[in-house]
Structure 1
Amino acid sequence: MAVIEVNQLSFRYPQANFDAIHDLNFKVEKGEFFCVVGSSGSGKSTLCHALVGLIPHYFLGKINGTVNILERELTQLSLAEISQRAGLVFQDPYNQLSYTAETVEEELAYGLENRGIPRLEIQKCIMDVAIKLGLEDILKLSPLSLSGGQVQRVAVGCSVILNPEVLVLDECTNQLDPEGINMIFKLIRQLNNEGITVVMVDNNVERIAEYADHILLMKDGKSVALGTAQEVFSQLNIANYDVGIPEYLSLTQEMVSQKLLSTSQVTLRETISEIRRHL
């Protein structure tokens, strides 16, 4: 079942003389870990905003085509209705904060309180999310006193606590160190395994190759390639799009040439454990 359907989607900001995204067509299946990669200015953030209804409900401009989530067209839904289906984690986690909450606990409760959820139910939701994201020890701390990695987990929690079926993440690992990046990817994989459909924009090609079911490569607002990690990163001209080539791919090719790996193992994810075994 397709949870997201993007059909001939184009969007142009006011006063711009070109489309930020142009004629995009793709589907994301239920439970999929779908990743979007591309150079700066390729339209990735604009696409994220379109997937959660900020375009056209908040960012104005000329839009063509449609975005459907769970078989409902987003222009026919309010932002409140869309938020019950899809959540967004911003590139800068501090943009996720309400700046009205004195503690992480209050920050997590903010969205639920706006929905009029009973207090006892809110407290249960907070504890469930805190345990899932490892936030139990910082619930009483101010969000502004936390490390970057902690704020990022809180930002994810603010979206996850609203129980969306789709979670969209816009380059949320950019400001993290390698340990923080690893933590966030594992966290998102855990949420994905629990049934949340994930759309993640990121240029950490090593992690993308490991986690993604399918990848959309964008350039100048357009779709350049769509497929598995193997299909997208194996393109001969991938370097022309300012996207790195995963080390896993070069290792895979070298291991195949040395007959350490069968060519029947066609996806990068399937080869990772085997590659690590030989390292």
Structure 2
Amino acid sequence: MGYIELKNVTYTYPLAEEPSVRDISAVMERGKFYSILGANGSGKTTLCNILRGFIPNFYQGEMSGEVIFDGKNLQEYEMGELASKIGYVFQNPFNQITGARDTVYGEIAYGLENFGVPVPEIRDRVDQIMELTNITYLRDKNPFELSGGQQQRVAFASVLVLEPDMFVIDEPTSQLDPRETERVFDIILKMKEMGKTIVLVEHKMELVAQYSDEVLVLEEGRLIRAGEKHEILSETGLQEHGVMLPQTVLLAEKMRNSGLKIKDGIITEDEMREQLVNIGR
């Protein structure tokens, strides 16, 4: 049994005529990094909301099938219980910052206060998480006066401090420049090294190729591919299904077509660099 199991999950939003996800079955293991890919409207965010328990509890609508999380049906958990087990990071950090406190420190501490964590422990955990996410220098700033990238790191910190075992992260870098994108992925890498289970929606394919363990591909609400990242991302035919591929994959394909002996399954820049060094010898 996997850490998360989806069994023939179909979901239709209220007033919608067609399901947003259709008959999805998948197994996710604890401690792995999964990326969800697909064109706009393919059901990625809907699947995220199913995995974090907001569907059907919050959004209502009609859902069939089962989601098993850590050995128990997801719908049997209380929402407050899930908040400490499954962390969610929004695409827009402005939607995640509560505004209940007027400093970054207070914002990060707010969730722990709601869970009744003792004050000395709150201080320790907030200090550790601010250091981990490289935002200690922002501790006395108002969260709404920060840049988008800084806000996103505060959003990560406010979830990380609750110490969930699983994170669902929906396009966290879509509004960030390359430098802030790198900083956010530094945090995600640290989460992976901590053994957290990560489910990420992301369009920056070089980052997906570098960090993921496995990839799931959606098209019109259906799961059309799932597996180890090299196997899935090296499939150039996925472009016909609205999926962007890493530039490295497209370059490797062009080089093979021109007669160069490029091995199969190259998806990252480091793998391509190593291959080019070997060709040059």
TM-score (norm 1): 0.92
Change in CA separation of 1:19 and 1:125 when aligned onto 2, cut-off 3 Å: same
Q: Matches of 1:267 and 1:127 in 2, distance apart?
A: 40
Q: Matches of 1:262 and 1:245 in 2, distance apart?
A: 17
Matched, 1:117 2:117: yes
Aligned partner of 2:97 in structure 1 is 97
Give 1:157 shift. 0.9
Change in CA separation of 1:273 and 1:84 when aligned onto 2, cut-off 3 Å: farther
Q: Flag structure 1 segments of 5+ consecutive residues without an equivalent.
A: none
1:67-91 CA distances to partner (integer Å, 9 max, x unpaired)?
Answer: 1221121100111111121110011
Change in CA separation of 1:267 and 1:27 when aligned onto 2, cut-off 3 Å: farther
Aligned partner of 1:231 in structure 2 is 231
Alignment of 1:93-242 (within 5 A): 93-242=93-242
Aligned partner of 1:31 in structure 2 is 31
Q: Flag structure 2 segments of 5+ consecutive residues without an equivalent.
A: none
Q: Matches of 2:16 and 2:42 in 1, distance apart?
A: 15
The answer to whether the Cα contact below 8 Å between 1:252 and 1:271 also exists between their aligned partners in 2 is: no
Q: Matches of 1:273 and 1:107 in 2, distance apart?
A: 43
Change in CA separation of 1:159 and 1:277 when aligned onto 2, cut-off 3 Å: farther
Matched, 1:53 2:62: no
The answer to whether the Cα contact below 8 Å between 1:38 and 1:219 also exists between their aligned partners in 2 is: yes
Please say which of residues 244-253 and 13-22 is displaced more in the overlay: 244-253
Give 1:253 shift. 4.1
Secondary structure of 1:91's partner? coil
The answer to whether the Cα contact below 8 Å between 1:251 and 1:275 also exists between their aligned partners in 2 is: no
1:180-228 CA distances to partner (integer Å, 9 max, x unpaired)?
Answer: 2222122201111111111001111111111111111111111111122
Secondary structure of 1:2's partner? coil
Alignment of 1:238-257 (within 5 A): 238-253=238-253
Q: Matches of 2:276 and 2:93 in 1, distance apart?
A: 33
Counterpart code for 1:241: H
The answer to whether the Cα contact below 8 Å between 2:248 and 2:266 also exists between their aligned partners in 1 is: no
Counterpart code for 2:129: V
Q: Matches of 2:273 and 2:195 in 1, distance apart?
A: 24
1:113-155 CA distances to partner (integer Å, 9 max, x unpaired)?
Answer: 1101111110111011001000100011000010111000011
Q: How many residues align?
A: 276
The answer to whether the Cα contact below 8 Å between 1:44 and 1:218 also exists between their aligned partners in 2 is: yes
Aligned partner of 1:268 in structure 2 is 267
Q: Matches of 1:18 and 1:61 in 2, distance apart?
A: 11
Q: Matches of 2:35 and 2:149 in 1, distance apart?
A: 21
The answer to whether the Cα contact below 8 Å between 1:252 and 1:275 also exists between their aligned partners in 2 is: no
Q: Matches of 2:128 and 2:276 in 1, distance apart?
A: 34
Give 1:277 shift. 6.0
Give 1:231 shift. 2.3
Aligned partner of 2:40 in structure 1 is 40
Secondary structure of 2:100's partner? coil
Counterpart code for 1:268: I
Give 1:273 shift. 5.5
The answer to whether the Cα contact below 8 Å between 1:135 and 1:154 also exists between their aligned partners in 2 is: yes
Q: Matches of 2:227 and 2:255 in 1, distance apart?
A: 23
Secondary structure of 2:56's partner? helix
Secondary structure of 2:55's partner? helix
Root mean square deviation of aligned Cα: 2.0
Q: Matches of 2:240 and 2:55 in 1, distance apart?
A: 29
Matched, 1:258 2:257: no
Q: Matches of 1:156 and 1:5 in 2, distance apart?
A: 25
The answer to whether the Cα contact below 8 Å between 1:94 and 1:151 also exists between their aligned partners in 2 is: yes
Q: Matches of 2:56 and 2:179 in 1, distance apart?
A: 36
Identity score, percent? 32
